[in-house]
């Protein structure tokens, strides 16, 4: 590739108001080829990692259908405690994991946590009592917690803000595949009940845990630590990534380094906490639905275990397809809030139908409507907040906080669906409806507020605050720069 064909000088597309210097233009054909290569090298690996991570986290729901509670002698709400306890250590590990990601390097750190959770998930299948199950769930959460926030930050090193939502969306597609395939796998593995004297639920946990070990070890060798060290990129492609980064306002070389001041800035930014609270609302739906969908559907009729598992698959498929379409559209238009709110409203309607006194078919329709908004309203805000943090330190901290506070809903969600509330689970559906509605209000406000800030900056109303700063100082301000354009 001819370097002179890549670099020319044109004004930046991302700047508003005055711009001190031109930024390089790029060869768009070369860029498309680069993005395709990144998609091939990065996305399948992370999809496999998150698929097995999600499967190992929620397959306890399928194991429940094959005698887990009876074999371990679980009583009252002990099953719900076992489901929710994972999120205690999961939450505590998310922000620290992101902060050490660069220090230990992504390939080694993610390889370590993936291999560890695979071993723990596999050994959960040989636990003999409630205490052993709790220990396994706590350890599983401790090592799994770093994957999603680490993956989100890692993707920002390679992709632009116009490409991020779809790539984060592939992780949610993995979650949908895990939900759909998990049921089929559990049904198939369930026939091993009695093999080597072990119950079917034990084989489900053992067999579904082993692939994580294999993929975790492979990650050490397959995952590049940064664009500069990516063995599969040529020198021209590495430079092209630098040019792509330079075209995004605030993405200076210094901004991509880890600075403690950026960490503190994330903790002081009220917008980060608004996104965190909204994420808590949508994640309540994610974990309640993903863990208890088989139980919810089983309560709709007199289904066999196999029929119940089969009926979950179309719901997850619709959820995945909805996210792919909306993530792509959101990336093109750079509008996150609009689609988050629309599909959040669809999920609210779905829960309203589940609460209503309707027929089995209508209730099953409600499951589909919830699924339509499930991954859109959970996934788009993750890309949205990351898009609006051009500085690495603030971005990695903000993303970690968003996921930590959001995933804390996983502690609460299992208790929304106790056996005593079945088969309708009206309280669980009502609380989840309210939480998604709250998130919708927050995200609608943030979309309005960020649009208003963009308008103020475009009119130059923020310029006076930075009149005494040089252009290179303004470039280091990140999202506080009067030239930075928020994704809305």
Task: Tell me: pLDDT of 172 over 90.
Answer: no
Q: What is the pLDDT of residue 3?
A: 37
Residue 252 has pLDDT above 90, yes or no: no
Does 17 score more than 60 pLDDT? no
Distance CA 165, CA 382 (A): 8
Between 218 and 472, the higher pLDDT residue: 218
Residue 203 has what pLDDT?
93
Q: Which of 171, 151, 167 is nearest to 159 (CA)?
A: 167
**What mean pLDDT, rounded, does the chain reach?**
86
Res 10 pLDDT > 50: no
In this predicted structure, the answer to whether residue 11 has a pLDDT above a threshold of 50 is no
Specify the pLDDT at position 349: 97
Residue 387: the pLDDT is 87
The CA distances from residue 257 to 84, 102, 157, 270, 477, in Å, are: 36, 9, 11, 23, 14
- pLDDT at 22 (0 to 100): 52
Query: Residue 254: which pLDDT band, with cuts at 50, 70 and 90?
Result: low
pLDDT digits (tens, 9 = 90+) for 106-133: 999 999 999 999 999 999 999 999 999 9
Q: Are 209 and 124 in contact (CB under 8 A)?
A: yes
Cβ 471 vs Cβ 20: under 8 Å: yes
- Give the pLDDT score at 276: 96
In contact, 344 and 377? CB cutoff 8 Å: yes
Cα-Cα-Cα-Cα dihedral sign, residues 176, 400, 230, 38: positive
Q: Identify the pLDDT of residue 64.
A: 83
Residue of 162, 374, 388, 370 whose CA lies nearest to 275: 388
Taking only the tens place, the pLDDT of each residue in 400-411 is 899 889 988 988
């Amino acid at each position: 590739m001819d370097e002179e064909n890549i670099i020319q000088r044109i004004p930046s597309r991302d700047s508003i108001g005055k711009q001190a210097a031109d930024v390089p233009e790029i060869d768009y054909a070369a860029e498309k080829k680069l993005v395709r290569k990144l998609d091939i090298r990065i996305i399948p690996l992370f999809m496999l990692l998150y698929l097995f991570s999600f499967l190992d986290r929620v397959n306890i729901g399928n194991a429940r259908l094959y005698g887990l509670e009876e074999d371990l002698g679980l009583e009252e709400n002990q099953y719900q405690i076992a489901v929710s306890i994972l999120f205690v250590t999961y939450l505590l590990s998310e922000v620290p994991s992101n902060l050490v990601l660069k220090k230990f390097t992504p390939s080694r750190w993610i390889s370590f946590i993936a291999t560890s959770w695979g071993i723990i998930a596999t050994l959960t299948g040989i636990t003999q009592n409630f205490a052993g199950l709790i220990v396994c769930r706590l350890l599983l959460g401790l090592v799994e917690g770093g994957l999603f926030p680490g993956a989100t930050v890692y993707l920002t090193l390679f992709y632009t803000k116009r490409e991020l939502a779809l790539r984060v969306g592939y992780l949610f597609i993995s979650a949908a595949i895990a939900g759909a395939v998990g049921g089929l796998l559990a049904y198939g593995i369930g026939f091993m009940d009695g093999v080597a004297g072990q119950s079917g639920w034990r084989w489900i946990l053992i067999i579904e845990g082993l692939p994580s070990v294999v993929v975790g070890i492979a990650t050490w060798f397959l995952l590049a630590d940064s664009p500069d060290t990516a063995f599969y990129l040529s020198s021209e492609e590495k430079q092209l990534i630098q040019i792509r980064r330079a075209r995004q306002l605030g993405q200076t070389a210094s901004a991509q380094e880890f600075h403690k001041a950026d960490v503190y800035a994330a903790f002081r930014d009220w917008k980060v906490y608004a996104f965190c609270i909204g994420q808590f609302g949508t994640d309540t739906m994610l974990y309640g639905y993903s863990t208890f969908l088989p139980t919810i559907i089983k309560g709709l009729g007199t289904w066999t275990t196999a029929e119940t598992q089969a009926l979950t698959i179309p719901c997850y498929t619709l959820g995945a397809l909805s996210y792919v379409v909306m993530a792509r559209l959101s990336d093109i238009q750079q509008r996150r809030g609009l689609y988050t709110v629309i599909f959040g409203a669809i999920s609210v309607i779905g829960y309203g139908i589940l609460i209503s006194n309707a027929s089995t078919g209508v209730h099953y329709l409600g499951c589909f409507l919830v699924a339509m908004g499930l991954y859109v309203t959970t996934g788009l805000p993750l890309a949205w907040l990351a898009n609006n943090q051009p500085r690495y330190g603030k971005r990695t901290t903000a993303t970690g906080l968003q996921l930590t506070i959001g995933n804390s809903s996983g502690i609460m969600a299992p208790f929304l669906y106790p056996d005593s509330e079945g088969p309708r689970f009206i309280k669980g559906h009502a609380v989840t409806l309210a939480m998604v509605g709250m998130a919708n209000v927050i995200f609608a406000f943030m979309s309005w507020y960020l649009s208003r800030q963009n308008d103020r900056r475009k009119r130059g109303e923020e310029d006076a605050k930075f009149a005494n700063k040089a252009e290179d100082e303004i470039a280091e301000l990140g999202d506080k720069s009067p030239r930075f354009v928020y994704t809305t």
